[in-house]
Amino acid sequence: MEFLVASAIGVLTAGGIYLMLRLRTFPVILGMSLLTYAVNVFLFSSGRLTVGAPPILSDGVSVYTDPLPQALVLTAIVISFGMTAVVVMIGLGAFLGSDDDHVDDPSEDADDKAEGTS
């Protein structure tokens, strides 16, 4: 079980980093979301990966699940949804303002062409 969760975290992180290195706005937003999901799964797994264990420590219970990471992940999901909405609106505004969705600055060739024509 731990190997499966660790592999999922690794795949989400690798996919998120790959997408964040792209030059378009939408893949960068998806990459940020994948990295957020990877962090959420990592935090959730830090509260023990047990099935059917109660989240409250009581007398006679030797195996329990820590509820704090679950609360942190729930809060992180809400924050990441809001962050994704803000980034999508910023990307949409940048696209509508320049008719281009590239993340990087204009190339030097475009600057040279602009200087040569003026």
Asked whether residue 35 is assigned to any structural domain, the reply reads yes
**Tens-digit pLDDT profile for residues 19-30:** 999 888 888 899
- With a CB cutoff of 8 Å and minimum separation 6, the contacts of 38 are 9, 12, 13, 16
**Tens-digit pLDDT profile for residues 41-78:** 998 888 777 777 777 777 777 777 777 888 888 999 99
Asked whether residue 31 is assigned to any structural domain, the reply reads yes
pLDDT of residue 110: 58
**Count of domains forming the chain:** 1
Residue numbers of the domain that contains 72 = 2-49+64-117
101 within 8 A of 26, measured Cβ to Cβ: yes
> Which CATH number does the domain housing residue 102 bear?
1.10.287.3510
Give whole-number Cα distances, 114 to 78, 83, 107, 110, in Å: 45, 36, 11, 6
